[in-house]
Structure 1
Amino acid sequence: MRARTYHDSDADLGVLTGRTVAVIGYGNQGCAQAQNLRDSGGRVVIGNRDDDCRDRAVRDGFEVLGIDEAARVGQIVLLLIPDEVQPGVVAGHVAPGLRAGDTVVVASGYNLAFGLLDLPGDIDVVMVAPRMIGAAVRDRYRRGVGYPCLVSVERDATGTALHTALAIARAIGATAGGAVASSAREEAALDLFTEQAIWPTVFAVLQASYEVLAAAGFSDDAILDEMYLSGEPAEVFARIAEMGLLDQLRVHSRTSQYGQLLHLERSAELVGTLRERFTEILRGEILSGRFAAQWSAVGADAESRIRALLDRAGTHPLIAAERTISAAPGSTGERVTPCRPVKDRA
C-alpha cells in the first residue's frame, strides 16, 4: 500500500504570510526548524523556559518569549518539546493562549494518538514530523536536499489545515524530497515499534554474540571492533538506505554474500519467533495504549526510572568490555551533550 507524497509544488509558502509561528522549545528540532522557517521568510518567535536552549535562541537572533506569551502571539504554534512534558505544558501554558482558527503543529504523533493533549475544539491540529534529527534537518535544508517527513491533519476546524501543514513542511525543507501523508497514530506506532521491538532486538543480538564469541576465547577488542566499534554497521545501513537490503550485498565480498544469504534461509524459525514477539509488542503494548498509560503514569519519576533501567542494562559484560576499551589510552571517543537527547521526537 502506497501513501500520497507531497512536494514543493503542492505547498504554498504564501499561506504563512501575516501569521506568526511560535516555536515552543529550542532543542534539537526547535532550533533547526525555527532557523529553516526564518530562512524561508516566516516570522518566528521562540517560546522557551529559562535555560541554555533559551540562551542559544537569543544568540541565534530570535525574539524569545515565555511559553505563555509565545502561544498568545503565534497563530501557528509548533510543539517541539519532549512527549512526556507536552500534556502539562499545553494545559498550563499553551492552550489558554490559543484562539479560534489558530493551528497547533506537532512533530510527534504520540500525545495525539493516545489522547493526551487537551486542545480547544476550534483550532486546527496537524502533524509535520521529520524523520531526522535536528542537525540533519538544518543541514539538508541548507543544501537544498530533502529528508523523510510525515504529515497529517488531525483536526480541520478551518477547512484549510492541510494547506497550513504543507506550508510548514515546505518552510522547514521537508517537501524538497517529498513529505508522506500519514496520521498521528501511524507515526506514533511506527516510532514506538522501532524503539520497543527493533532496537532492543539489535541490542540482544549483540549481547548474545558477545557471550558466544568471548566464550570461544576471542579478545574484547577484536569482538567489539567487528560488531560495531569500527563503524562498519553504520556504513552497511547507509548502503541499505541507498541501494536496498539485498542490492547492497553487492558491495560485500562473495564470501560475505554467500554466508549472509545462506543463514538468512536457515533463520526462518527465528523470523517466526520474532514475528510473534513483535505482534505482541505492536498490538498488546503499543496500539492497545498500555505502554502510553504506563509511561504517562511515570511522570516526574521518569529520570529515575530510566536510570534504573540503564543501571540494569549496564551489568551485561558487553557493556563492561565496551567501557574498558573506550577508556583505554588513545581512545578517540567523544560524547556530545545537546540541549535535548539526540533521539528526540521534539
Structure 2
Amino acid sequence: MDRIFDPDIDPAPLIGKRVAIIGYGNQGRAQSLNLHDSGIDVVVGLRDGSTTAAEVQAVGLATASLGDAVASAELVMLLIPDETMAGVYGQIEPHLRPGAALGFSHGLAIHFKFIKPRSDLDVFLLAPKGPGTALRSLYVAGDGMTSLWAVAQDSSGNARATALAYGQAIGSGRAGLIASSFAEECEADLFNEGAVVWGAVPEVLIAGFDTLVEAGISPEVAYMECVGELKLLAGLIEARGIAGMREAISNTAELGALIGGPQVIGDDVRTAMRALLATVRDGSFARALSDEEASGYPLLRAARRKARGLAVEAARLKLED
C-alpha cells in the first residue's frame, strides 16, 4: 500500500495559487476552512442569488460567482452532488484557465463519464474517507483524516504533486494519503453506501427492533438494545478492530455473535452483495442516480417520509423526551 505522509509531500504546487471551491456543503465547507487555515488562497464559487454567501463570508472566506471564482483560480475543486456535476461543469468549463487543475472528492462523475474534462486540464481525486464535519474537527485538533488520491488526466505532468499538496493542505497528510483510482474509489464507496454502512446496517437495526417488538418487548427497550448499542460497537471496532472488539465484549455476547451472526449474514447475503456490486460496476446505479435527479428525487422523498413514520423513530423520540 502506497501511503504518503506530510514529510514526503512538497507543498510547492499550491504556494501562491488560488483554489476555487464549488459547493459549500459538508465537504465544501470543511475543505475550504482547512485550506484557508493552511494559508491557501481560497474562494468559494456560488450561484447568483445564493443565500449561503453571508454564511461563507462570516467565517472569513472570499466568495464570487461561479464564473469569476473559476476564472481566478489555478485549481478548481468540484464538491457538489454527483448528479448535478455535469450541468455545473458545462457552466464553468468556458471559465477554466488553460492548464488548470480540476479536483474531485468522489470518482463517480469521471468514472461514469458524467463529465468529460477538457484535454488541457489536470484531473485528480482527493477523497477524505469520512464526513466533512470530522475532517474539520480533526484538522482543528491537530489531527487528520486519511484520504485516497488518484489522477485521471495529467496534462501538465504535475497532477500527482498537485493532488498530494492539496491533501496536505486539508490535513490528510497527517493521517496518510493512499494511492487509488477513480474507479476503485467510486465502486468501493457506492458499494459500501448501498450494501453495508448506509444501506444494510440501518435495515438490520430496523429488522431487529421490529422482531423484538413483535415478540412483546417494549419499543424503548428494543431501541436501546438494537440501535442504541451501535455506537459502542463502532467505537470498539475503531479502537481495536473487529477481532479486538469481540475479545472486549462478554463471553455471552461473543458466543451469541458467533452463533447468530452467520445465521443472519449467510451465503444469500453475500450473493446479494455481489449482485449489488455488479450494478455499481456496470453503471446501473449511476444511471438510476441521474434519472432520480432528473425526475425531482421522487424515490428519495418517499423514502424519507416513510422513515420518519417508522416505529423505531417513534421509540427514539420517546426516549429523548
Distance 2:219 2:82 in 1: 38
Shift of 1:127: 0.4
Superposed CA offset, 1:170-219 (max 9, x none): 00001101011111111111111112111332233233323321222111
Aligned to 1:26: 24
Shift of 1:327: 4.2
**Residues 236 and 73 of structure 1: is their aligned pair in 2 closer, same or farther, counting only changes over 3 Å?**
same
3-state SS of 2:273 partner: helix
Letter in 2 for 1:7: F
Distance 1:322 1:299 in 2: 27
Task: Tell me, yes or no, if the aligned pair for 1:10 and 1:166 is still in contact at 8 Å.
Answer: no
Shift of 1:320: 2.5
- Equivalent residues in 2 for 1:1-346 (5 A)? 3-49=1-47, 50-92=49-91, 94-198=92-196, 199-228=198-227, 230=228, 232-264=229-261, 266-267=262-263, 270-283=265-278, 285-312=279-306, 319-323=310-314, 325-328=315-318, 331=320
Letter in 2 for 1:280: A
Shift of 1:10: 2.4
Shift of 1:148: 2.0
Superposed CA offset, 1:131-157 (max 9, x none): 121121111112221212110011000
Superposed CA offset, 1:242-297 (max 9, x none): 21101112321121122222334x53x842111111111101x1000011112112
Letter in 1 for 2:181: S
Distance 2:134 2:304 in 1: 27
Distance 1:262 1:70 in 2: 57
Distance 1:290 1:241 in 2: 32
Task: Tell me, yes or no, if the aligned pair for 2:223 and 2:316 is still in contact at 8 Å.
Answer: no
Letter in 2 for 1:257: E
**Residues 102 and 245 of structure 1: is their aligned pair in 2 closer, same or farther, counting only changes over 3 Å?**
same
Letter in 2 for 1:134: G
Aligned to 1:343: none
3-state SS of 1:105 partner: strand
The TM-score with structure 1 as length reference comes to 0.87
Root-mean-square deviation (Å)? 1.8
Distance 1:321 1:30 in 2: 32
Shift of 1:43: 1.0
Shift of 1:165: 0.3
Superposed CA offset, 1:151-172 (max 9, x none): 0011000001000000000000
Letter in 1 for 2:199: P
3-state SS of 1:244 partner: helix
Distance 1:306 1:287 in 2: 22
3-state SS of 2:295 partner: helix
Task: Tell me, yes or no, if the aligned pair for 1:32 and 1:138 is still in contact at 8 Å.
Answer: yes
Distance 2:142 2:226 in 1: 35
Distance 2:121 2:201 in 1: 41
Question: Structure 2: any 5+ residue segments left out of the alignment?
Answer: none
3-state SS of 2:123 partner: strand
Task: Tell me, yes or no, if the aligned pair for 1:90 and 1:118 is still in contact at 8 Å.
Answer: no
Distance 1:44 1:310 in 2: 35
Shift of 1:321: 4.2
Q: Quick one: higher RCO (CA 8 Å, sep 6+), 1 or 2?
A: 1
Question: Structure 1: any 5+ residue segments left out of the alignment?
Answer: 333-346
The TM-score with structure 2 as length reference comes to 0.93
Give identity over the alignment, percent: 33
Aligned to 1:336: none
Would you say how many aligned residue pairs link Structure 1 and Structure 2? 319
Shift of 1:117: 0.7
Task: Tell me, yes or no, if the aligned pair for 1:47 and 1:70 is still in contact at 8 Å.
Answer: yes
3-state SS of 2:60 partner: coil
Distance 1:235 1:148 in 2: 22
Task: Tell me, yes or no, if the aligned pair for 1:137 and 1:147 is still in contact at 8 Å.
Answer: yes
Distance 1:85 1:55 in 2: 23
**Residues 321 and 6 of structure 1: is their aligned pair in 2 closer, same or farther, counting only changes over 3 Å?**
closer
